[in-house]
């Protein structure tokens, strides 16, 4: 039972990293949103498995929040937004896809090294989980940095949040308060950024954030 | 009185008063009421501190605030009680002065609440017993005094002074923060008890000494960190200037004593040399700066720099003697320093009160626009003269006693084993003598140009004597100057517990000696009796007056003044402050201030007036501050583009910072 428990948790967390990589590869917004939905679903599975093996039923709630909000509602809403903005066929990346993927691998390696080094005494399950979670966070950040479009930056931000949830659930005994706060932070981020997108659209007729740079007021380097 | 009562009373009373001051500031009688209450609170605190100083055993309280492991510790021992007495005694009289003077302040709402908070801040520094509370109180004191400096914020000059003060105060606190960091060590032993229990490595102790010197020196005005002091002290209202110059600089001296004498452990001999030399340079430069000032308050502020130098000379001597376990000599030097702390507090506050009274009466601070005020403001002129005599270290007033004690300590230097000290101490003694002489010249100028001669402007001609509260405060300080001058033995004995806690010994009991003389060292070569000297001076003066009036003329004779061939001279032909300072400026200023004089003579036939222009440069500013300004501007220009990045670039910066930190963790051995 112990081996199976470990392997399944490992598999799910690893899949989350894999889906993060798939996200990095997407250069169209529609596809990116679909992959993000998949990301949330995998997260929900992983959290549910953690709930099962830790015997912590409240984690099921977290899993459901992840599945419903991040796996369904948010991607659907973002789909509507990009259709309404007419940018669902846009292609936008900074730097080559291959290069970005290589950087992502570097980040995974880095988080492995860091995590295995700083947590020698911890439970091996938690250690691996934390390493994967850190990789997901870093890849989410990388996604935000390498995209020009505000919608894909939102997606990057939310997959970063997914990594945080993974880290939080991997550790035993996370109090319920934090899950609610995490869910709320995502909701708030979604609302704020949604408004933000429409404001940009109204103002500048595009959601390409480089349009803002003209108003940065100063020299660009 | 127990400490929780003392501190709790101060905190609640002054905070409540600060709150009450906000609505009261806009009423007609409000400011006077607030100042009167502040005077009562400070008087109660002074009594409590006096009792604590006499009580002997330190009082302690630990509050459940502040740092988690340390808490907020308060302690009132002999040293802090002595300083608390000095601070609150001066605050009482200053508040009394402000009852009258404060009415003339146009922006009451900006002044009153911060005045109460400033008093509170200074008191809290004195009772803090851990690094966190100390820094908190220190910064509280700095910020509230900054608010007082920029009370008259509509003048560009005052805003600049405030900015400079804020910058220097932050810099000083930063240095103190690091000093306490070094003292507390990696384990974070921030309570003073824990720091006392530690023994530091020699290099760490030296580092802490230098940081403490920079941190407290920037608050007390040690050269080259004095640059903020004259503009800030002249920008503030005069009762605040008196507090900042007379009292706050003493709190900074307290900080230095607390760190170096109490927390740092046994001193090295060359620490004394460092402190001593800095003190000597500060004393001379301060008085030279003062000599070329024509702004009365600025002149007084530069004299604060000089007197801080004298205090640091005493402290440096005490350190040097203590390093060689010459406790009796160290006690003498420490007593001289502490006595000078008291004396300077008294006469500097008195002089600032006088300057404030003159400013209120005439609207002028520039001495070149004053003159002849002794006829219009005779009482103010008298107390100002007392202050001038005291600060010029003339017997029988108090300034003489403390400087004489400092000289007595300097004369003990041949007993020191190190040749470095054997040579440095007499050199510093020469600097001290020079600064004392120059200070006398400077105050002849300050008093003579301001109060004697004839009025140079209509404003000075129409001046009125100041109100009775201000006069009462000034006479109180003048009386203290006289009492401390003729009965120094009582004061020296009162300082003994504080001196014992600094250097582990005390001067011989002075009040037991016959005829109230003081003898600094038991088997001494020298002694001083202020009372006899005072009686003699009074007697001799009376006899001289009698003889002159009896044999020369017993009637007041009125004759044309300055009648050197110009029977109807204008007041502009009088001796001016600039002409008084010229000889000294020529001797020292040519090197120290790069003084250059230019005479523009119009060619014959042209009706233009001739002009004499003097250029002065502040080399401290050129050498210490200008490079810092250049460096900061350079770095700011380099970092400026960071202000105008795209969102994605900001994200990339965060990302790169995160990844590089993680990389550091990964490859750290």
pLDDT digits (tens, 9 = 90+) for A76-105: 888 877 777 777 777 676 678 888 899 999
DSSP-derived pairing of the beta strands B72-76 and B59-63: antiparallel
Q: Which residues of B touch A138 (CB under 8 A)?
A: 658-659, 662
DSSP-derived pairing of the beta strands B611-615 and B596-600: antiparallel
Phi, psi of B542 (to 5 degrees): -60, -45
The single-letter DSSP state of residue B395 is T
B551 found inside a domain: no
B249 found inside a domain: no
Number of domains composing chain B: 3
B208 found inside a domain: no
pLDDT in tens, B117-140: 999 999 999 999 989 999 999 999
B541 found inside a domain: no
Q: Who wins on pLDDT, A202 or A33?
A: A33
A191 found inside a domain: yes
How far is Cα B80 from Cα B341, in angstroms, rounded to an integer? Answer: 13
8 Å CB contact between B315 and B283? no
The mean pLDDT of chain A is 78
B543 found inside a domain: no
CB atoms near residue B146 (< 10 Å): 20
Distances (CA, A) of A18 to A25, B33, B452: 11, 75, 92
Q: Label residue A220 by pLDDT band (50, 70, 90).
A: very low
How far is Cα B237 from Cα B360, in angstroms, rounded to an integer? Answer: 10
CB proximity B661 to A under 8 Å: no
Number of domains composing chain A: 1
Give the residue from chain B lying closest to A139, CA to CA.
B655
Give the domain-ending residue among B175, B197, B219: B197
Whether residues B193 and B324 share a domain: the answer is no
Picking from B374, B256, B252, B238, the residue whose alpha carbon sits closest to that of residue B296 is B238
ipTM over 0.95: no
Q: What is the Rg, in whole angstroms, of the alpha carbon atoms belonging to chain A? A: 18
Q: Is B40 left (phi over 0), alpha (psi -120 to 50) or beta?
A: alpha
- Closest approach of A73 to chain B, Cα-based (Å): 26
Whether residues B161 and B59 share a domain: the answer is yes
Q: DSSP states of B529-567 as a string?
A: -HHHHHHHHHHHHHHHHHHHHHHT-SS-----TT-SS-T
> What's the pLDDT score for residue B637?
92
Q: Who wins on pLDDT, B398 or A3?
A: B398
Whether residues B98 and B175 share a domain: the answer is yes
How far is Cα B209 from Cα B267, in angstroms, rounded to an integer? Answer: 10
Q: Which residues of A touch B662 (CB under 8 A)?
A: 110-111, 114, 138
Q: Label residue A67 by pLDDT band (50, 70, 90).
A: confident
Picking from B307, B308, B309, B287, the residue whose alpha carbon sits closest to that of residue B299 is B287
How far is Cα B401 from Cα B395, in angstroms, rounded to an integer? Answer: 8
Q: Who wins on pLDDT, B524 or A61?
A: A61
8 Å CB contact between B282 and B305? yes
- The partner residue sitting opposite B651, judged by closest CB among A110, A144, A216, is A144
- Closest approach of B631 to chain A, Cα-based (Å): 22
Name the interface residues of A facing B (CB cutoff 8 Å). Answer: 94, 107, 110-111, 113-114, 117-118, 138, 141-142, 144-145, 147-148, 153, 209-210, 212-213, 216-221
Range of the domain at A171: 2-207
How far is Cα A37 from Cα A180, in angstroms, rounded to an integer? Answer: 20
Whether residues B397 and B477 share a domain: the answer is yes
Residues of chain B where predicted confidence (pLDDT) is lower than 70:
1, 56, 522-524, 553-555, 561-569
How far is Cα B198 from Cα B196, in angstroms, rounded to an integer? Answer: 5
Give the domain-ending residue among B477, B506, B535: B506
Lowest mean pLDDT among A40-54, A179-193, B209-223: A179-193
CB atoms near residue B598 (< 10 Å): 9
pLDDT exceeds cutoff 70 at A200: no
Per-residue pLDDT averaged across A147-169, rounded?
Answer: 81
Instruction: Tell me the residues of chain B between 598 and 657 that have a Cβ less than 8 Å away from chain A.
Output: 641, 643-648, 651-652, 654-655
Whether residues B272 and B192 share a domain: the answer is no
B328 found inside a domain: yes
Q: Is B420 helix (H, G, I), strand (E, B) or coil?
A: helix
Distances (CA, A) of B304 to B199, B216, B310, B314: 35, 15, 10, 15
How far is Cα A21 from Cα A107, in angstroms, rounded to an integer? Answer: 11
Give the domain-ending residue among B458, B488, B506: B506
Q: For A64-184, where are the E strands, in sequence order? A: none
Cβ contacts from A onto B, under 8 A:
56
Whether residues B284 and B179 share a domain: the answer is no
pLDDT exceeds cutoff 50 at A107: yes
B483 found inside a domain: yes
> What's the pLDDT score for residue B325?
87
Q: Do B641 and A218 touch (CB under 8 A)?
A: yes
> What's the pLDDT score for residue A219?
47
How far is Cα A16 from Cα A11, in angstroms, rounded to an integer? Answer: 9
DSSP-derived pairing of the beta strands B72-76 and B596-600: unpaired
Whether residues B192 and B270 share a domain: the answer is no
Q: Which residues of B touch A219 (CB under 8 A)?
A: 641, 644
8 Å CB contact between B245 and B148? no
Q: What is the Rg, in whole angstroms, of the alpha carbon atoms belonging to chain B? A: 26
Q: Is B560 left (phi over 0), alpha (psi -120 to 50) or beta?
A: beta
Q: Label residue A221 by pLDDT band (50, 70, 90).
A: very low
Range of the domain at B657: 620-667
8 Å CB contact between B308 and B249? yes
Whether residues B176 and B297 share a domain: the answer is no
A215 found inside a domain: no
Whether residues B291 and B174 share a domain: the answer is no
Q: For B253-381, where are the E strands, in sequence order? A: none
Q: B167: which residues sit within 8 A by CB, 6+ positions away?
A: B228
Q: Do A145 and B643 touch (CB under 8 A)?
A: no
Give the residue from chain A lying closest to B664, CA to CA.
A114
CB atoms near residue A102 (< 10 Å): 11
Q: B262: which residues sit within 8 A by CB, 6+ positions away?
A: B79, B192, B196, B501, B502
Q: Do A110 and B662 touch (CB under 8 A)?
A: yes
Q: Is B269 helix (H, G, I), strand (E, B) or coil?
A: helix
How far is Cα A74 from Cα A159, in angstroms, rounded to an integer? Answer: 12
How far is Cα B486 from Cα B488, in angstroms, rounded to an integer? Answer: 6
Q: Which residues of B touch A147 (CB under 8 A)?
A: 648
- The number of residues making up chain A comes to 221
């Amino acid at each position: 039972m112990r081996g199976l428990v470990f392997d399944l948790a490992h598999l799910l967390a690893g899949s989350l990293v894999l889906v993060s990589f798939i996200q990095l590869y997407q250069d169209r917004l529609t596809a990116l949103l679909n992959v993000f939905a998949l990301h949330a679903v995998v997260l929900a599975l992983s959290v549910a498995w953690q709930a099962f093996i830790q015997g912590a039923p409240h984690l099921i709630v977290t899993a459901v929040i992840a599945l419903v909000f991040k796996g369904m509602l948010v991607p659907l809403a973002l789909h509507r937004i990009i259709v309404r903005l007419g940018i669902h066929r846009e292609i936008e990346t900074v730097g080559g896809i291959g290069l970005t993927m290589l950087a992502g691998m570097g980040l995974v390696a880095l988080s492995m090294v860091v995590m295995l080094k700083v947590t020698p005494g911890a439970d091996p399950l938690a250690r691996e989980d934390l390493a994967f979670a850190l990789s997901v966070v870093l890849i989410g950040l990388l996604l935000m940095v390498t995209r020009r479009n505000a919608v894909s930056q939102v997606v990057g931000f939310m997959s970063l949040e997914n990594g945080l949830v993974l880290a939080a659930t991997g550790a035993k005994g996370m109090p319920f308060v934090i899950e609610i706060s995490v869910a709320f932070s995502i909701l708030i981020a979604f609302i704020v950024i949604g408004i933000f997108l429409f404001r940009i659209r109204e103002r500048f007729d595009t959601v390409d954030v480089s349009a803002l740079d003209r108003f940065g007021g100063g020299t660009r380097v | 009185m127990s400490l929780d009562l003392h501190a709790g009373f101060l905190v609640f009373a002054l905070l409540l008063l600060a709150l009450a001051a906000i609505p009261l500031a806009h009423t007609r009688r409000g400011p006077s009421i607030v100042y009167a209450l502040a005077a009562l609170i400070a008087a109660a605190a002074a009594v409590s501190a006096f009792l604590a100083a006499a009580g002997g055993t330190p009082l302690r309280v630990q509050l459940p605030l502040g740092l988690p492991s340390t808490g907020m510790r308060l302690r009132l021992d002999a040293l802090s009680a002595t300083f608390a007495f000095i601070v609150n005694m001066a605050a009482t009289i200053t508040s009394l002065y402000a009852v009258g003077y404060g009415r003339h302040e146009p922006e009451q709402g900006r002044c009153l609440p911060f005045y109460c908070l400033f008093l509170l801040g200074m008191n809290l520094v004195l009772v803090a017993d851990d690094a966190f509370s100390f820094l908190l109180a220190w910064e509280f004191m700095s910020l509230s005094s900054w608010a007082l400096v920029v009370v008259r914020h509509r003048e560009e000059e005052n805003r600049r002074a405030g900015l400079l003060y804020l910058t220097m105060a932050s810099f000083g606190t930063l240095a103190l923060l690091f000093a306490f960091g070094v003292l507390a060590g990696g384990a974070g032993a921030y309570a003073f008890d824990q720091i006392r229990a530690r023994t530091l490595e020699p290099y760490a102790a030296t580092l802490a000494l230098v940081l403490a010197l920079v941190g407290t020196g920037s608050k007390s005005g040690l050269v080259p960190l004095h640059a903020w002091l004259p503009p800030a002290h002249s920008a503030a209202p005069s009762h605040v200037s008196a507090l900042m110059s007379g009292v706050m600089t003493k709190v900074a001296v307290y900080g230095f004593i607390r760190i170096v004498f109490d927390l740092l452990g046994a001193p090295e001999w060359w620490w004394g040399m460092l402190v001593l030399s800095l003190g000597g340079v500060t004393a001379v430069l301060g008085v030279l700066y003062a000599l070329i000032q024509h702004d009365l308050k600025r002149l007084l502020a530069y004299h604060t720099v000089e007197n801080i130098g004298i205090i640091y000379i005493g402290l440096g001597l005490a350190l040097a003697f203590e390093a060689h376990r010459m406790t009796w000599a160290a006690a003498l030097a420490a007593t001289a320093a502490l006595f000078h702390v008291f004396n300077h507090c008294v006469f500097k506050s008195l002089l600032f009160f006088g300057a404030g009274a003159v400013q209120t009466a005439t609207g002028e601070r520039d001495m070149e626009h004053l003159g002849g005020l002794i006829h219009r403001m005779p009482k103010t002129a008298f107390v100002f003269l007392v202050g001038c005599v005291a600060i010029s270290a003339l017997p029988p007033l108090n300034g003489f006693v403390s400087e004489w004690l400092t000289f007595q300590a300097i004369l003990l230097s041949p007993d020191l084993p190190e040749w470095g000290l054997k040579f440095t101490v007499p050199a510093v003694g020469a600097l001290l003598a020079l600064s004392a002489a120059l200070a006398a010249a400077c105050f002849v100028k300050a008093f003579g140009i301001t109060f004697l001669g004839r009025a140079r402007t209509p404003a000075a001609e129409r001046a009125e004597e100041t109100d009775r509260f201000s006069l009462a405060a000034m006479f109180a300080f003048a009386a203290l100057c006289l009492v401390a001058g003729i009965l120094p033995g009582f004061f020296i004995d009162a300082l003994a517990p504080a001196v014992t806690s600094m250097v582990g010994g005390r001067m011989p009991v002075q009040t037991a000696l016959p005829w109230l003389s003081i003898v600094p060292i038991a088997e001494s070569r020298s002694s001083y009796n202020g009372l006899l000297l005072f009686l003699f001076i009074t007697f001799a003066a009376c006899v001289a007056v009698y003889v002159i009036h009896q044999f020369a003329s017993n009637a007041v004779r009125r004759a044309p003044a300055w009648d050197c061939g110009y029977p109807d001279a204008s007041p502009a032909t009088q001796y001016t402050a600039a002409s008084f300072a010229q000889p000294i400026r020529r001797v020292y200023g040519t090197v120290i201030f790069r003084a250059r004089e230019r005479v523009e003579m119009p060619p014959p036939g042209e009706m233009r007036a001739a002009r004499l222009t003097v250029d002065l440069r502040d080399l401290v500013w050129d050498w210490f501050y200008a490079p810092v300004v250049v460096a900061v501007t350079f770095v700011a220009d380099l970092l400026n583009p960071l202000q105008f990045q795209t969102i994605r670039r900001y994200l990339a910066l965060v990302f790169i910072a995160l990844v590089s930190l993680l990389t550091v963790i990964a490859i750290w051995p």
